[in-house]
């Protein structure tokens, strides 16, 4: 079953009561917390320091999902462990899937390298022109062949700003009495993202000619948006172990590439990528954290995530 956007409202939704909200990952929680403001606090399922790829529900979290008025998640492409609990929820419970939300810019894993190469050549990307296009079906994501829609869409700030409005609409549908507050909070949060985006753009300007290597293919949206270039990734999937052939090809690529940086990733053993850097004479950067698992959860996390990624990439000088 596809979760496009399901807002199945009961008659009680017309009451001006702040809904109970559950979110899956820190960026989604941050955007939701910013829109809710002082009216309420959403639940975050993915605790600080946890990985979305090996999540295990606690009984209390199962109860949170089952009892929530609204669940906001990326979608089954990123957090498939939420599908069964969502299916077991009561009729009339509301659901907002951001990857399937109208206007969300999506790219596929197999297109990520081409997209970053085009961005590095200043071809740019027109989000408005792409927004209405019919993107490929999201189902069938396989960690091993790493094909299908790339679910890391929160790393494009344009998506983050779009989702703020959708989150405000979903909350207002259940709590119309506070609709103006949700809208105002979303507007303030969008301004904060604009500020973060401007900081990231300035930080990354000197790095556009320097391709980098990441642990896994999670940064296509970020690199395309900011005009960066990726030389390769160690792992071909979110949960896949790199094979000897792939590592040999990556070493050869780095041996023939201009000086670059390789970055380990939070929640993954840095030993392999550190060895790759040593073998190829490339510079080892600090860990990247695409989901914000090491940051303090809350409304400020999303803009902080964008700036922190930019700072980490910019700080590594080959």
Digit-coded pLDDT (tens) for 243-286: 677 788 888 878 777 768 999 998 888 888 888 888 888 899 99
pLDDT on residue 245: 79
Bridge partner residues of 43 (DSSP): 22
Structure tokens at 19: 């809904």
- pLDDT tens sequence across 33-59: 999 999 999 999 998 877 777 788 899
Please determine, for residue 312, whether its predicted confidence score (pLDDT) is greater than 90.
yes
- What b/e readout covers 19-56, taking b as 16+ CB neighbours within 10 angstroms? bbbbbbbbbbbbbbbbbbbeebbbbbbbeeebebbebe
Q: Is the pTM of this model over 0.75?
A: yes
Partners of 288 in beta bridges: 265
Q: Which of 10-19, 26-35, 211-220, 257-266: highest mean pLDDT? A: 26-35
Q: Which CATH class is domain 5-101+152-199?
A: alpha beta
Alpha-carbon distance of 239 to 235, in angstroms, equals: 8
Lowest mean per-residue pLDDT among 9-23, 28-42, 207-221, 294-308: 9-23
What ranges do the domains of the chain cover? Answer: 5-101+152-199
Helix (H, G, I), strand (E, B) or coil at 307: helix
Determine contact, residues 62/72, Cβ cutoff 8 Å: no
**Once rounded to an integer, what is the mean pLDDT over residues 167-196?**
97
pLDDT in tens, 74-85: 999 999 999 999
Is 230 in a helix, a strand, or coil? strand
């Amino acid at each position: 079953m596809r979760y496009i956007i399901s807002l199945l409202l009961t008659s009680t939704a017309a009451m001006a009561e702040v809904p109970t909200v559950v979110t899956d990952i820190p960026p989604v929680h941050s955007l939701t917390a910013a829109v809710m403001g002082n009216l309420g606090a959403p639940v975050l399922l993915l605790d600080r320091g946890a990985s979305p790829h090996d999540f295990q529900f606690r009984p209390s979290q199962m109860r949170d999902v089952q009892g929530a008025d609204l669940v906001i998640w990326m979608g089954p492409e990123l957090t498939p462990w939420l599908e069964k609990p969502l299916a077991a929820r009561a009729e009339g419970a509301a659901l907002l899937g951001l990857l399937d939300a109208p206007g969300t810019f999506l790219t596929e894993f197999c297109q990520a390298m081409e997209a970053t190469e085009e961005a590095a050549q200043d071809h740019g990307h027109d989000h408005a022109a792409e927004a209405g296009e019919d993107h490929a079906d999201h189902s069938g994501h396989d960690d091993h062949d790493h094909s299908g829609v790339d679910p890391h869409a929160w790393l494009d700030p344009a998506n983050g700003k779009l989702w703020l409005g959708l989150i405000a609409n979903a909350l207002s549908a259940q709590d119309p009495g506070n609709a103006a507050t949700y809208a105002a909070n979303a507007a303030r949060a969008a301004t904060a993202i604009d500020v973060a985006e401007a900081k990231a753009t300035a930080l990354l300007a000197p790095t556009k000619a320097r391709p980098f290597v990441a642990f896994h293919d999670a940064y296509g949206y970020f690199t395309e948006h900011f005009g960066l270039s990726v030389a390769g990734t160690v792992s071909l999937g979110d949960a896949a172990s790199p094979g000897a052939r792939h590592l040999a090809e990556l070493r050869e690529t780095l041996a023939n590439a201009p000086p670059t940086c390789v970055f380990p990733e939070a929640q993954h053993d840095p030993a392999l990528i550190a060895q790759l850097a040593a073998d190829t004479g490339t510079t080892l950067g600090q860990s990247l954290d695409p989901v914000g698992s090491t940051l303090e959860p809350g409304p400020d996390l999303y803009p902080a995530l964008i700036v922190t990624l930019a700072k980490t990439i910019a700080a590594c000088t080959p």
